Amino acid sequence: MPRPLKLDPDRLLPADPSTRAVARGLYESVAGLPIVSPHGHTDPAWFASDSAWTNPTELLLAPDHYLYRMLYSQSVPLQALGVAGRAGPSPADPREAWRLFARHYRLFRGTPSRLWLDHVFAHVFDIDVALEEETADLYYDRIDEALATPAFRPRALFDRFGIELLATTEGPHEDLRNHAAIRASGWKGRVVTTYRPDAVVDPEHEQFAEALARFAELTGEDVRDWRGYLAAHRRRRADFRAAGATATDHGHPTAATADLGAQAAEALFRRIVTGNWSPEDAELFRAQMLTEMAAMSVEDGMVMQIHPGAFRNHNRWLHQHYGRDKGADIPMPTDYVRGLKPLLDRFGNEPRLSIILFTLDETAYARELAPLAGHYPCLKLGPAWWFHDSPEGMRRFREMTTETAGFYNSVGFNDDTRAFLSIPARHDVARRVDCAFLARLVAEGRLQDWEAAEVAHDLAYGLVKRAYKLDPAEGSPSLHAGRG
């Protein structure tokens, strides 16, 4: 007989009864709030076409590098899991891939993937037995059937999930036709884009040349001229804003910024576009472009997100055979204090600038990020990210940032996911962990209960809307009117 799948209604809340009671009360007050997802990687085509997804493996397993990286670490080959390689699609039968996944499900014990998946299985698909080898087919059939029904189409789920806003991510070299189609369709769901210029900013990006060419086409600018290149950014930023974007996003290896004089910047750009650059030039150009992007944000009000610190494609063989984003990115130490200084020297006190900092290096939380965000008016702290987007990771984020930066220099939760079905699960985990943290503060007499309730609401809903300027009515990203 299969084992039951049953989510503990008090999961992730502290075990001590009095603290749990406080946490439960806080959680109940925010559990039903709308989901605001200002940073993620879902495919806007889903919402444009509203087509049904194909099967459980293609929807849940093959695109989720959290899952197959763990399976790969235990010697399960990617091609057996439905993951496409450079040579073409996986030859694996989707049902066989799903069975292989089910057989190894124990590997996820203690991981956030397990929490998210069980939530999806129980709440989205209403399954009440645990996933294991014996139930693999039951799962496959149940999910497969559901996906064929109208209630499981992307827009229906978007509405069912209570999503108030969902941001996707596109590059300056991409058209925004899906976003246009969503708008044209008359559907009321609010799906917006985000300006992510990495492919035209990072000379080491494998699509750099191609993206640059497309960037020229889409803008009509001479993007091989420094002024034309900057003008092209301004044009595309305006296009993105027209498609609802309020933010840009920058995924750089480091947090380095630079503030070169006009001539030096132009000379550097020349080396970059002519292909005569060294790795140091590439790093310097990315650094300079963060400052250029900040300058444009001062003009157009777009919020900057900086996501540094990953060594991309660390596994050489895997990169050669499977390409980018296959679970082989590994975090590195990241220096924010010296890295951000050139940008901050120029714009650190600019009231119109808002920069949200992320990290893969938790040692920066208490040492650098909280002190920076607790001082500079333009800096805010993004939530625990990627490898740290987990109960222990989120707890450490609050424990290591709150005492110096407070709650109000943080920006609420980002799910940062392409796994659309897991979005409610991820926000639910974040709300529970934040309520658990707040409950401890209350139980230890460090915060009043009414204050904790206000903060819980802000962390789940209020802060994200202010930080990402999602309420045009409010105007300012700051909590407070006054610059006295």
Least Å distance, CB 404 to its own copies, is 5
DSSP string, 289-355: HHHHHHHHHHHH-PEEEE---EETT--HHHHHHH-SSSS--EE-----TTTTHHHHHHHTT-TT--E
Please say which residue, 223 or 304, places its beta carbon nearer to its own copies. Answer: 304
Pick the closer one to its own copies by CB: 249 or 368. 368
In this structure, which amino acid lies at residue 457? H
- Angle between helices 423-443 and 112-119 in degrees, nearest 10: 120
- Cβ closer to its own copies: 102 or 167? 102
Q: Which is nearer to its own copies, 96 or 174 (CB)?
A: 96
CB of 346 to its own copies, least distance (A): 9
Our CB check for its own copies shows the closer of 207 and 478 to be 478
Quote the radius of gyration of the chain (alpha carbons, Å). 23
- Shortest approach of its own copies to residue 201 CB, angstroms? 23
Is the alpha carbon torsion for 458, 463, 464, 465 positive or negative? positive
SS3 151: helix
Minimum distance, C-beta of residue 367 to its own copies, in the bound complex (Å): 5
Burial of 213: CB neighbours in 10 Å, binned 0-12, 13-18, 19+: middle
- Closer Cβ to its own copies, 103 or 241, answer by number: 103
Yes or no: say if 418 and 454 are a contact pair by the CB < 8 Å rule. Answer: no
Least separation in angstroms between CB 115 and its own copies: 7
β-bridge mates for residue 410, sequence order: 381
**For residue 420, what is the DSSP state?**
G
Tell the smallest beta-carbon distance from residue 471 to its own copies (Å): 18
Q: How many CA atoms lie within 13 A of 4 on its CB side?
A: 3
Query: Which residues are CB-contacts of 410 (< 8 A; sequence separation ≥ 6)?
Result: 373, 380, 381, 382, 383, 401, 459, 463
DSSP H or E segment with residue 248: strand 247-250
Quote the least distance from Cβ 390 to its own copies, whole Å.
Answer: 4
Q: Based on CB atoms, which residue is closest to its own copies, 17 or 150?
A: 17
